[in-house]
Structure 1
Amino acid sequence: MLATLTKPTDPPPGPEGWSFERKYDGVRVIATRERGERPRLWSRNHKPADASYPEVVEALEAAAPERFVLDGEIVAADGRFGSLQARMHLSDPKRARATGVEIECHLFDLLVLDDLDVTRLPLRTRRSLLEAVVRDDGPLLHSPTLDGDPLALRDEACADGWEGLIAKRLDAPYASGRSRDWLKLKCVKDQEFVIGGWTDPAGSRQVLGALLVGYYDGEGALRYAGKVGTGFDDAALKLLRSRLDPLAVDDPSFSDVPRERGQHFVRPELVCQVGFGEWTSDGRLRHPRYQGLRVDKDAADVVREA
């Protein structure tokens, strides 16, 4: 179940009939377990993630029922998405632990309990069941709900440096896909973009200069959104180049990229998260900054958020 981004002109939800939770800057996971088996973690695009976060698997094995499907988000304990980058690409549990990046798994929904599909129950009931059958243990945490005026809650969240809030309708069932029963009230401008290429480095920069990024429009064309040339450290640059080189192609996948010297193009398979100041009138990002690769979203699903 995915949330819909609210526009500034939209009336705020609630507060009656709605609950509010912190919008985390992490990786969404679905946790599953069949009887007699170990728990498994799955990314939003159905890729296994348990090797990257073995301590979450161990905690679920000890603190959760014999059979379940749970929804939640894994975040770095310091709250930075960039910190999570060190773990989210690893497939060796020992290497994941050795990074030293501490994580938390914030659980916020329950889909299956034992042999019961509870997705048709209202959110308030699913949350009560979740808190009753899964205990906080180690990295496992119940995502707290906030009550009060939504605009005041958002102002407080923004003042505290949060990404924003998620508003959820308390009587809503769990429905796969994007829904207005869950709403995003964001404090910052950021979203995922498809990487369509890179530019040569200049000056003291090594490995690559900037990423060429874009998004899909409603007709299936990859639209160019601009260059992202800040937010990298040396490790990020090396990781990006190692992932980009095997995807190199001669011609751009963008439908409208301006051609310049020093450009290199790739198959549009990688997705990254980018923070930015605003959209310009010609559809480009102003002051974009790289925040990290995303392995939990398919490139074909990336569109421009309203």
Structure 2
Amino acid sequence: MSMLLPSVPMAPVTSPDIPVGPDWGYQIKWDGVRTPVRLDGRNGVELFSKRMEPRNGTFPEIVDLLKPINIGASVLDGEIAYFDGTRPNFQRVRLGVRKRKYDESLIYVMFDLLYDDGEDIRSLPFKERYARLAAKFPNKEPRLFVSDLFYDGPALWNWVNDREWEGIISKHLDSPYVEGKKHNHWFKKRKEVRIVADVVGVKLKDKKVSSLVLRYEDRYIGHVSGLDNASKQVLEQFMRTHRGSCPFPELSAGMKKSDVIWLSVPFPCRVTALEFTDTGLLRQPKLIGFGGGDES
């Protein structure tokens, strides 16, 4: 039985607003790894990344979790997440593509159904796809369940924000399943990332200070610009007297080509961003200021 996969999964469009009205439903956004799944109905399980690359080798614990499921030939859409007991927590040691340890604390959260008993149902309204999915998994297991569907978006956002969860997805109940982001059916609103990071290097452009290289939880998370002239002058003096070596075991090809002065004495800065990407980098970071402070 042929169940063709999308070239890319349907993705929500980032929006600062929450659409409201009787035609909208809302789901919690889990801080995990997007993972469509194809079940052949005979205990065969195939996991895929959001780029539709095979992921069985990366997440064998999720393959084992899904093998006993008897729901017929199906294609599920969901994400693999880690729940730390308080909130979903994107830990790269558990969820990164280089992870090696078998981890039974990982969970699989489902939110859509693309094929039902071999039938392609992507053209059906989301509310019907969701109803079929929920009927296949009527009971919530600790590590395998369907994400709840809510009908009061602002109330769900307040709940998520109060508990410092990642965000919510707003879905038009009549929407078909559309690949990628070329649609106006799904929208995501995320809690802003606000952290105190270590400045471990200064990136130069034309031999002048351009941006700050950042470290957070002992890993590279990108670089941030937005320095005023006074800060650049202070940094030029500081990096001349505090030269050090790269603190990271490896660098991306782009960073290897960059002109960076590494610092022997890191210092803290406050940064905000839209999110951490799947590769662990800050998306659209902005410099707030220098020194430590409370994270939120």
- Give 5+ residue unaligned stretches, structure 1: 191-200, 203-208, 213-224, 253-258, 264-269, 280-284, 289-306
Deviation at 1:130, TM superposition (A): 0.6
Query: Which one of 276, 279, 283 corresponds to residue 271 of structure 1?
Result: 279
Give the length in aligned residue pairs.
229
| Distance in 2 (alpha carbons) for counterparts of 1:72 and 1:119 | 15
Instruction: Tell me the TM-score normalised to structure 1 length.
Output: 0.63
Q: Which residue of 1 aligns with 2:12?
A: 3
Cα distance between partner residues in 2 of 1:287 and 1:41: 42
Counterpart mapping for 1:59-208 below 5 A: 59-78=65-84, 79-90=87-98, 95-97=101-103, 102-134=105-137, 136-148=140-152, 150-178=153-181, 179-189=183-193
Note the alpha carbon deviations across 1:244-300, whole angstroms, 9 max, x for none.
Answer: 27x477634xxxxxx55349xxxxxx9323278x63xxxxx4479xxxxxxxxxxxx
Establish whether residue 232 from structure 1 lines up as the match of residue 217 from structure 2.
yes
- Does the residue aligned with 1:71 lie in a helix, a strand or coil? strand
CA RMSD in angstroms comes to 3.4
| Letter in structure 1 aligned against 2:13 | T
> Contact between 2:31 and 2:90, CA under 8 Å: does it hold in 1?
no
For the 8 Å contact 1:211–1:229, the answer to whether it is kept is no
| 4+ long deviations beyond 6 Å | none
Q: 1:43 to 1:243 in 2, by over 3 A?
A: farther
CA contact (8 A) 2:114 2:120 kept: yes
- Name the counterpart of 1:256: none
Unmatched 5+ stretches in structure 2: 1-9, 204-209, 222-246, 264-277, 291-296
CA distance in 1, matches of 2:51, 2:162: 32
CA displacement at 1:166 relative to structure 2: 0.6
Question: Deviations along 1:214-261, whole A, 9 cap, x unmatched?
Answer: xxxxxxxxxxx943524223899xxx945527x477634xxxxxx553
How far did 1:76 drift?
A: 0.6
Paired with 1:91 and 1:25, the residues of 2 have a C-alpha distance of 17
Deviation (angstroms), 1:45: 1.5
Alpha-carbon distance in 2 for matches of 1:39, 1:211: 46
Letter of the aligned partner of 2:212 in structure 1? K
Would you say the 8 A contact 2:32–2:95 is kept in 1? no
Distance across 2 between alignment mates of 1:228 and 1:110: 42
More helix by share: 1
| Contact preservation (8 Å) 1:166, 1:184 | yes
